[in-house]
Amino acid sequence: MPLLKELHLSKNIFPFRPIVYGGDDLTFVCDGRVGLHLAAYYLQKFAEGKIKVCGKDKPVDACAGVAIVPTKFPFAQAYHFADTLCGLAKSRRRSQEDNSKGSWLDFQIIQEGVTQSITDLRTSQYRSLEGQKLTQRPYHISGSWDTFTAILQQFQSQRWPRSRAKGLLQVLTQGPTATERFVKGTQWRNVVLPDVSGIDDNAKTSGWTGGASANQITPYFDPLEALDFYLEGLLPTASGAEGSENKKRDKE
């Protein structure tokens, strides 16, 4: 596969190492650029299984946490972050109605020297200057994850130069007002925000949606932050279409 050349593989060795594989746990280490792919793909395949309950087949699902960390980041700390993220995904799953249970995935890109908890990190660094929440994680593998990957892949297209995509990421941290000005500027150059299923018209034109200013959300921040950690087309998306180091932990 041509995209595998980006991983600089030698002797056809895939950059993946399972650490724990048994019971209801799976933990593996891999190249950070394939971590999100592998986690989502595993959850999709896991959900294809069934278990017998009182003689009837019942669906199974799982939750995953993906911590993308620098190569020399302490493993124990990375494992703790991944486990925490898995717990956040499980908490979101428990809060859903039955038709939105399924499998959920949360992820976080961790910089060198970070000592804050995931919750504190997101509270202090994942709010815009106007006060809006920037991230929409965790993601529902059979729902919002496909929207996430579709947006990300459009940002990877030639219509969105990497420098402009990174510029939008920075502008989103300033809030809806600055984002709307930026989006209007890109529209003059015939560059429009990704238009995919699951995004309403307000988000497509201004980058944000949700009514009152304090309650507005953006579907674009998470895909943009993950832009360098997602190799387009490497594995199927959660719905089955082709579409630094990483620690990941799954729990049923």
In the chain, domain spans = 2-251
Q: Which helix (H) or strand (E) holds 165?
A: helix 162-172
Please state, for a pLDDT cut of 90, what percent of the chain lies above it: 50
Q: Is the pTM of this model over 0.75?
A: yes
Concatenating the DSSP letter of every residue in 2-55 gives GGGGGGT-STT--SEEEEEEETTEEEEEEETTTHHHHHHHHHHHHTT-EEEETT
Q: Which residues of 37-71 are buried (b: 16+ CB within 10 A; e: fewer)?
A: bbbbbbbbebbeeeeeeeeeeeeebbbbbbbbbee
Q: Is the pLDDT reported for residue 157 higher than 50?
A: yes
Q: Per DSSP, what are the bridge partners of residue 67? A: 108, 247
Distances in Å between the alpha carbon of 238 and those of 40, 132, 139, 174, 192? 6, 28, 11, 32, 25
pLDDT at res. 248: 47
pLDDT digits (tens, 9 = 90+) for 191-205: 889 988 888 888 988
Cα–Cα distance for residue pair 67/70, rounded to 1 Å: 10
Quick check: 106 and 138 in contact, CB under 8 A?
A: yes
More confident residue, 132 or 47: 132
Instruction: Enter the tokens of residue 165.
Output: 């995509």
pLDDT digits (tens, 9 = 90+) for 159-173: 788 889 999 999 999
Q: Per DSSP, what are the bridge partners of residue 248? A: 28, 66
Q: Is the pLDDT reported for residue 22 higher than 90?
A: no
pLDDT digits (tens, 9 = 90+) for 222-250: 999 999 998 766 644 545 444 444 444 44
Q: Is the pLDDT reported for residue 207 higher than 50?
A: yes
Quick check: 121 and 108 in contact, CB under 8 A?
A: yes
Nearest to 89 by CA among 100, 75, 74, 78: 100
Average pLDDT over every residue of 11-19: 80
What is the CB neighbour count within 10 angstroms for residue 219? 22
Cα–Cα distance for residue pair 152/65, rounded to 1 Å: 19
